[in-house]
Structure formats: structure tokens, C-alpha cells
Amino acid sequence: MNLTIRNALPDDETVIVALWRACDLVVSYNDPGADFRFARGGASSDVLVGIDANGRIVGTVMVGHDGHRGWLYYVAADPMAQGSGIGRQMVTAGEDWLRQRGIAKVQLMVRETNTKVIGFYDHLGYEETPRVIMAKWLDR
């Protein structure tokens, strides 16, 4: 499936959040709408969408960087069309977005509850890089 890739628009939020939910990318402690608005409003981040021939949003990737490393989040492909190349095109679009900004390394995290996607990322050349990730909630 060939997609048209573009930056998400504010009016896309409802459709995008529904897609993220359909792909099981949303967890109780994240507000996906707030994530969407924050990424779109940042100088170093954005949300890209893949549009099919019927004009439907069927894929997404949230992309951002800290000036050194880039990150991909919310990589989503319409569950009814998974396996048709949507995910690959969205990952490529995110990587291209980072390259255009001079970012040399891209990373992503996979929740341990979402291991079904590991093979997909392996196929795209991503490697597991063992790290200890530490986190702290600042306002909870």
C-alpha cells in the first residue's frame, strides 16, 4: 500500500488517538491527546500520518529528538491493514524526518507487554540494546 505522508493537523487528533487505541499503544498513565498536542507543538517533535488512497489516516509515527538522539513513538498501522507496509513506511518517514534535522541515531522503546512487534523492528534493522531505563514522575 502506497501512502501519502504528511504532518498531522490539529483536527486529526481524534482519528489518531482512536488508531493508537486500536493498536494497543495507549496505557492508563498516558493521555494520548496530550501527547499528540505536545509533540505537534514542539520545535523538536511532530506527529506524521500516513494517508491511504481513500484519504484515511491508516498510519502514524510520533518523532522527536534531543539534539543528539532521535526517538520514534506511537508507530501505528491500521490493524485491518497490518502487513501491507504501512508500519515500514511510517518508520521510514520518521527516520527521514530525523535525518533532515541532522540526527544520526534513532531509538525506540517497546513495552514488555508489546513483544509481538519485536520481529517487525528486527526486520527493519533495529537491534536490541540492553539498557537500564530509570524514570521519575515529576508531577504525580
The full set of domain ranges for the chain reads: 4-123
**pLDDT given at position 74:** 97
In this predicted structure, the answer to whether residue 140 has a pLDDT above a threshold of 80 is no
Q: What's phi and psi for 13, nearest 5 deg?
A: -55, -50
Q: What is the pLDDT of residues 24-75, one digit of tens each?
A: 999 988 899 999 999 999 999 999 999 999 999 999 999 999 999 999 999 9
**pLDDT given at position 3:** 97
**pLDDT given at position 48:** 98
Q: What mean pLDDT is reported for the chain?
A: 94
**pLDDT given at position 133:** 85
The CATH architecture of the domain made up of 4-123 is 3-Layer(aba) Sandwich (3.40)
Query: CA 7, CA 92: separation in Å to the nearest integer?
Result: 14
Average pLDDT for 113-119: 89
In this predicted structure, the answer to whether residue 110 has a pLDDT above a threshold of 80 is yes
